[in-house]
Amino acid sequence: MPKIVTETDRLQKRQAILDAAAAEIARYGYDRANVNTIAERAGIGIGTIYLYFQSKEDILGALLDSIGRAIDDIVQECLTQEISWSVRLQLLADAFVALAESHRDYLRVQMSALHGVNRDLGAPMSEWLRITISRLTEAYALASEQGLVAPLPPETLATLVFGTLDSFVLLPEVLSQHTDLSRSAQAVARVLWRGIAPEKSA
């Protein structure tokens, strides 16, 4: 009779590995994150890691997939709702703050992949990024046609949204400042909205 291991158990352990990996990679970067340490953090043996993931790179892939999907969900959710773009931006900023507070390590891993590691390792991330950006671009184009927002080249939109929103989590950490993210989010959302609001003149 085999040891009974429920699917839930498996998923929990898998998640424990991912969390431990995210913490290590966030702190030391992908290359310096040590698989032994990750196992230790996750409270399991080294070999066990390789029962759940094919390789260290595979772990990174899973992390990037997870955070990439989370961000895309947020964006999708914000775009789906029938609200003004002013509110939408606010919602988006708030959701980013929430994500930053619940999954700060994951967000830092994404950043790390975006800039710090070998390009091909970041593939799972840039796939999501492309999806999310095209989602944003499409919605924005529609709103622009309806005169709800000022027209904007698509790449500018992406730059604004990702460049700005991602910087929330990051800069305060790098500068060792302790900022109130929520307050900061409101300010940024307001600036962005004023920046993209349609021209008032008739």
Residues that bind a copy of itself (CB under 8 A): 2, 27-32, 45, 108, 111-112, 114-119, 122, 125-126, 129-130, 133, 150, 152-153, 155-156, 158-160, 162-168, 170-172, 174-177, 179, 183-184, 187-188, 191-197
Binding partner at 182 among a copy of itself, DNA, none, C-beta below 5 to 8 Å by kind = none
DSSP 34: -
Among the listed ranges 5-13, 67-75, 137-145, 168-176, the one in contact with DNA (CB under 7 A) is: 5-13
Residue 1 found at the interface with DNA (CB under 7 A): yes
Distance from chain centroid for Cα 119: 18
Binding mask 10-29 toward DNA (x if CB under 7 A, else -) reads ---x----------------
Number of residues that bind DNA (CB under 7 A): 23
Pairwise CA distance, residues 85 & 96, whole Å: 16
> How many secondary structure helices (H) and strands (E) does the chain include?
10, 0
Interacting residues of 104 by C-beta distance below 8 A, sequence separation 6+: 26, 169
Environment class of residue 200 by beta-carbon count within 10 Å: exposed (0-12), middle (13-18) or buried (19+)?
Answer: exposed
Cβ-contact 135, 183 below 8 angstroms: no
Contacts with DNA, 125-164, as mask; x by CB under 7 A: ----------------------------------------
Structure token digits, residue 178: 């302790």
CB of 116 to DNA, least distance (A): 15
Residues that bind DNA (CB under 7 A): 1-5, 9, 13, 32-36, 44-51, 55-57
